[in-house]
């Protein structure tokens, strides 16, 4: 029994980094998904604002030509 414990304690440090690396990869994927979602929403808002600016600029330009 003591031999098993000693062997496990020797192997434990080599096994734990693999586990933490796997959990880190999962957390990175989760964070990347959140960042992509946030950036996607920001991009949509920016695109909408750019289009609305073009529409307002076109309307002002047309009003200026009529007068």
Percentage of the residues of the chain whose pLDDT score is greater than 70: 16
> How far is the C-alpha of 65 from the C-alpha of 58, rounded, in Å?
11
Residue boundaries of the structural domains of the chain: 29-66
**Is 28's pLDDT higher than 60?**
yes
Highest mean pLDDT among 14-18, 22-26, 32-36, 44-48: 32-36
- Residue-averaged pLDDT of the chain: 60
Say what the alpha-carbon torsion angle 43, 48, 53, 59 is, to the nearest 10 degrees. 160
Task: Supply the pLDDT for residue 32.
Answer: 78
Query: How far, in Å, CA of 33 to CA of 26, rounded?
Result: 11
Q: pLDDT at position 33, please? A: 78
Share of residues in the chain with pLDDT > 90 (%) = 0
């Amino acid at each position: 029994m003591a031999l098993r414990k000693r062997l496990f304690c020797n192997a434990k440090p080599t096994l734990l980094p693999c586990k933490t690396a796997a959990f880190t990869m999962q957390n990175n994927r989760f964070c990347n998904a959140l960042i992509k979602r946030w950036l996607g929403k920001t991009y949509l808002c920016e695109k909408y604002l750019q289009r609305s600016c073009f529409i307002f600029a076109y309307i002002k330009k047309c009003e200026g030509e009529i007068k």
